[in-house]
Amino acid sequence: MGQDVAAVHDDHGHDDGHHHHKETFVTKYIFSQDHKMIAKQYLITGLIMGVIGIAMSLLMRMQIANPEEPSVIFEALLGDWAPGGVMDPGIYLALVTIHGTIMVFFVLTAGLSGTFSNFLIPLQIGARDMASGFLNMISYWLFFLSSAIMVGSLFVELGPASAGWTIYPPLSALPEAMPGSALGMTLWLVSMAIFIASSLLGSLNYVVTVINLRTKGMSMTRLPLTIWAFFVTAIIGIVSFPVLFAAALLLIMDRSFGTSFFLSDIYIQGEVLAHQGGSPVLFEHLFWFLGHPEVYIVLLPALGITSEIIATNSRKPIFGYRAMVASILAIAFLSTIVWGHHMFISGMNPFLGSVFTFTTLLIAIPSAVKAFNYITTLWKGNLQMNPAMLFSIGLVSTFITGGLTGIILGDSTLDINVHDTYFVVAHFHLVMGISALYGLFAGVYHWFPKMFNKMMDKNLGYVHFWMTAIGAYGVFFPMHFVGMAGLPRRYYTNTNFPYFDDLADTNSLITYFAIFTAVGQLFFAYNFVKSIFFGKKAPANPWKSNTLEWTTGDKHIHGNWAGAIPHVHRWPYDYSKLNEDDEYVIAGQDYVPQHIPLQDKEEEMNH
């Protein structure tokens, strides 16, 4: 490949001991402290949770397309919750709730950020492992435990939590209000409390690692945008997740110990409850103080991954590196002061609504800058259409489409009439669901060779991308119009409103597209599993990328580099850089990896 690892004295020599100790099956595959193995554990757990979450969405869509009609699928999967094959309204709400919870937290937070932060932070900054491998291991196992509890809650007698993923009290606080608010809700809260602990341990580790363990020469302005995104995501997580923990704790107290943080003046099932003085609006504030940053916790890693992949596959530097970093920081800051846009009509003071409208529409600005910068990066590139690249372009597309409708929802006036309709469902699925999933897929296709030393099948990847791209728009674009008709979300059936009768065909169409999209995911699942075992052996740097992870060679050792850790001499985006004499900086090669020192005749640029 013509790239020579700079032979510099290794000042991390004391770390070498890392990879000499003997590994047993348990320490290597189960209680591993190697960030690469932990990343794979996160990925596989996340993907399994994803299968459950997507399957649930299909069940919901089938119910909406054929409301209250018996189905053998329901009978087989839901058992007593689908008497005679007709889905019970309570279990519909349970599916709504657990689908949301699983997709947001377990797939797109842990599965996406957990996987790639763990995998890429040490490799791309030139570190042998996370700052604390032990805490990292604990973080994964707490995540596993919380996943197990969440899945386990599906099997309790009265059903899992059913109050929506936002679990607004009093509905979630009172077992009298709905069956899902009994044991199912307790398990949900326990699971989420453990999840938060896991997420915090992970995030603290990421932040400490990025700040302290960068290799020589890796200044903050030479960090790949992936790392910037993971770093800032971790900070948002540290700031906001504890607030959800507080909310969950107070809710547990209201449920089990008779306190009244969120409850007041309630008459239910023929009885007045003793609770007095609490406010559900307080819970909404606490919930959305996490809930909104959570959107960016999900999205920023995807955007970081995409930045890296688009630059690599365009064979061009990412356009406006500093603006991209500034946008990430601006989005992170603004994301913590916009939560109230979920609550315009919650009964909070309308003046607050004005403030939140203002901050919310501000966040459109850095988002727009990012979108324009991606498009400019493609301009005059030499685009290598690998599956990862396709998913990255797809992400930019859905990010724009979904983001634009945010301008309607973020405007307190316009929100009045589209709040909690299918318009919202369409908006957030495109902008954070589909976009973040594309980021996840892009990341898997791009770093699979590094993770497993094997290549994924590109043709299966193409089939997967095109089916997903067509299906996703087929599902969510028409859904905006259903929402514009004023169709509320979380309705088990719409047949009680004849006004919505003419939406039924469109709802069926959406369901067909959803099934089509889900079938597309089977190609991915097959490709993923097949390639782990039977994939072609990956070259050392298949995508001709500049970042450090491609310099480790193909041996997977705890400690990452068999020899010295490479030093860094440039930013990660020297693609197609030319000398003064109009030749590539390294002759015959359109990229200059980060560890290559400045060449003769090369102009140094400060990006």
Partner 1 sequence: MTAFLIIIIAALLAISVWQISKIAKIGKAPDPDSDLSEVANDMDNKRNGQGMLLFVIAMYIMMIACFVGYQDFFLPDAASAHGAEYDNLLILTTVVIMIVQFLTQALLHWFSYKYHGKKGQRALFYADNDRLEFIWTAIPVVVLAGLILWGLFSWNEIMDANMDDDPLIIEVYAYQFDWRFRYSGSDNTLGDANVRFIEGANQLGIDPTDVDGMDDAVSNELHLPVNRPVIFKFRSQDVLHSAYMPHFRAQMNVVPGMVTQFKFTPTVTSEDYKSTEFMTQKVRKINEIRRQKSKELLAAGDVGLDPYEFEYYLLCNKICGVNHYNMQAKIVVETEEEFNEWLATQETFDQTLAKAEN
Considering only residues 522 through 581, tell me which ones interact with partner 1, judged by CB under 8 A: 535-539, 542-543, 573, 575-578
Q: Which two tokens stand for residue 294?
A: 């959570």
Shortest spacing between CB 335 and partner 1, in angstroms: 17
Binding mask 181-220 for partner 1 (x = CB under 8 A): ----------------------------------------
Considering only residues 158 through 187, tell me which ones interact with partner 1, judged by CB under 8 A: 163-164, 168-171, 174, 177-179
Considering only residues 9 through 38, tell me which ones interact with partner 1, judged by CB under 8 A: none
Shortest spacing between CB 59 and partner 1, in angstroms: 15
CB closer to partner 1, 143 vs 261: 261
Shortest spacing between CB 332 and partner 1, in angstroms: 17
Considering only residues 338 through 367, tell me which ones interact with partner 1, judged by CB under 8 A: 345-347, 350, 353-354, 357-358, 361-362, 364-365
Choosing from 46, 50, 304, 317, the residue that interacts with partner 1 (CB under 8 A) is 317
Applying CB under 8 A, does 463 fall inside the site for partner 1?
Answer: yes
Contacts of 14 (CB under 8 A, 6+ apart): none
Q: Tokens 């449920």 map to which residue? A: 255
Q: How far does the chain reach from its first CA to its final CA, in angstroms?
A: 26
Binding mask 275-294 for partner 1 (x = CB under 8 A): --xxxxx-------------
170 upstream amide cis, omega within 30 of 0 = yes
CB closer to partner 1, 60 vs 565: 60
Shortest spacing between CB 141 and partner 1, in angstroms: 33
What's the CA gap between 218 and 222, in Å, rounded?
Answer: 6
Choosing from 113, 115, 118, 397, the residue that interacts with partner 1 (CB under 8 A) is 397
The answer to whether 199 touches 237, Cβ cutoff 8 Å, is: yes
Tally Cβ neighbours within 10 Å of residue 333. 16
Applying CB under 8 A, does 401 fall inside the site for partner 1?
Answer: yes
CB closer to partner 1, 63 vs 136: 63
Considering only residues 320 through 339, tell me which ones interact with partner 1, judged by CB under 8 A: 320-323
Contacts of 89 (CB under 8 A, 6+ apart): 492, 493
Binding mask 481-500 for partner 1 (x = CB under 8 A): xx-xxx-x-xxxxx-xxxx-
Shortest spacing between CB 147 and partner 1, in angstroms: 24
Residue 226: CA count within 13 A, CB half-sphere: 34
Q: Tokens 């089939």 map to which residue? A: 463
Binding mask 76-105 for partner 1 (x = CB under 8 A): -------------xx--x--x---------
Contacts of 527 (CB under 8 A, 6+ apart): 456, 457, 460, 461, 464
Choosing from 17, 22, 84, 379, the residue that interacts with partner 1 (CB under 8 A) is 379
Nearest residue to 165 via CA among 276, 57, 79, 41: 57
The four Cα atoms 338, 206, 140, 31 give a dihedral, to 10 degrees, of 180
Shortest spacing between CB 134 and partner 1, in angstroms: 36
The answer to whether 393 touches 313, Cβ cutoff 8 Å, is: no
Shortest spacing between CB 182 and partner 1, in angstroms: 13
Rg (CA), the chain: 25
The answer to whether 274 touches 265, Cβ cutoff 8 Å, is: no
Residue 279 to residues 262, 263, 286, Cα–Cα distance (Å): 4, 6, 11
Total residues at interface with partner 1 (CB under 8 A): 143
